[in-house]
Structure 1
Amino acid sequence: MTASPSSAAQAARERLAARLRDIRREAGLSGEELALRCGWSPSKRSRIENARTSPSDADVRNWCTACGAEDQTADLVSANRQADQMYVHWKKLHRHGMRRAQDEVLPLYARTRRFRVYCSNVVPGILQTEAYASALLSSIARFQETPDDAPEAAASRIERSRVLYEGDHRFAFVLEETVLRYRIGPPEAMASQLGYLLAVMALPNVSLGVIPADAERRMWPLEAFYLFDDRQVSTELLTAAVNVTAPSEIATYASACFGVPTDRRDRMT
Structure 2
Amino acid sequence: MTISPSSSAQAARENVARQLRDLRKNAGLTVNELASECGWHHAKTSRIENARTPPSPTDIRLWCRATGATDQAADLIAASQHAESLYREWRQRVRTGLSKLQDSYVELYRSTGLLRVYSPVLVPGLLQTEGYARALLSMSARFHGVPDDAAEAATARVQRSQVIHEPGHRFVFLIEEAVLYYRLGDAEAMAAQLGYLLTAGALPQVSFGIIPTATRERVMWPQETFNVHDETLAAVELVSAEVNVTQPSEIALYIKAFEQLRTMAVYGADARALIVRAIDALR
Deviation sequence 1:69-112 (CA, Å, 0-9, x none): 9x98xxxxx97661121111111111221122211111110010
CA shift for structure 1 position 16: 5.9
Q: Do the aligned residues in 2 keep the contact of 1:115 with 1:226 (CA within 8 Å)?
A: yes
**Match in the other structure for 2:159:** 159
CA shift for structure 1 position 203: 0.6
Deviation sequence 1:48-81 (CA, Å, 0-9, x none): 9966xxx9xxxx7xx99xxxx9x98xxxxx9766
**Match in the other structure for 2:170:** 170
Distance 2:4 2:124 in 1: 20
The residue identity in structure 2 corresponding to 1:135 is: A
The residue identity in structure 2 corresponding to 1:222 is: Q
Distance 2:173 2:221 in 1: 17
The residue identity in structure 1 corresponding to 2:98 is: M
**Match in the other structure for 2:219:** 218
Q: Unaligned 5+ residue runs, structure 1?
A: 35-47, 73-77, 261-267
Question: Any residues of structure 2 matched to 1:59-138 within 5 Å, and which?
Answer: 82-138=82-138
CA shift for structure 1 position 10: 6.1
CA 1:244–1:8 in 2, change beyond 3 Å: closer, same or farther? farther
**Match in the other structure for 1:13:** 13
The residue identity in structure 2 corresponding to 1:236 is: E
Question: Any residues of structure 2 matched to 1:195-234 within 5 Å, and which?
Answer: 195-216=195-216, 217-234=218-235
Distance 2:154 2:108 in 1: 18
Q: Do the aligned residues in 2 keep the contact of 1:219 with 1:257 (CA within 8 Å)?
A: no
Using the aligned pairs only, state the percent identity.
47
Normalized against structure 1, the TM-score is what? 0.73
Distance 1:28 1:124 in 2: 49
Distance 1:10 1:236 in 2: 20
CA 1:220–1:162 in 2, change beyond 3 Å: closer, same or farther? same
Deviation sequence 1:193-238 (CA, Å, 0-9, x none): 0000000011111111111112131111111100111110001001
Count of residues in Structure 1 that have an aligned counterpart in Structure 2: 229
CA shift for structure 1 position 156: 1.6
Distance 2:133 2:186 in 1: 12
RMSD of equivalent CA atoms: 3.6
CA 1:81–1:108 in 2, change beyond 3 Å: closer, same or farther? same
**Match in the other structure for 2:41:** 26
Normalized against structure 2, the TM-score is what? 0.69
CA 1:28–1:8 in 2, change beyond 3 Å: closer, same or farther? closer
The residue identity in structure 1 corresponding to 2:41 is: E
Q: Do the aligned residues in 2 keep the contact of 1:88 with 1:241 (CA within 8 Å)?
A: yes
Deviation sequence 1:19-63 (CA, Å, 0-9, x none): 8xx99x93759x9xx9xxxxxxxxxxxxx9966xxx9xxxx7xx9
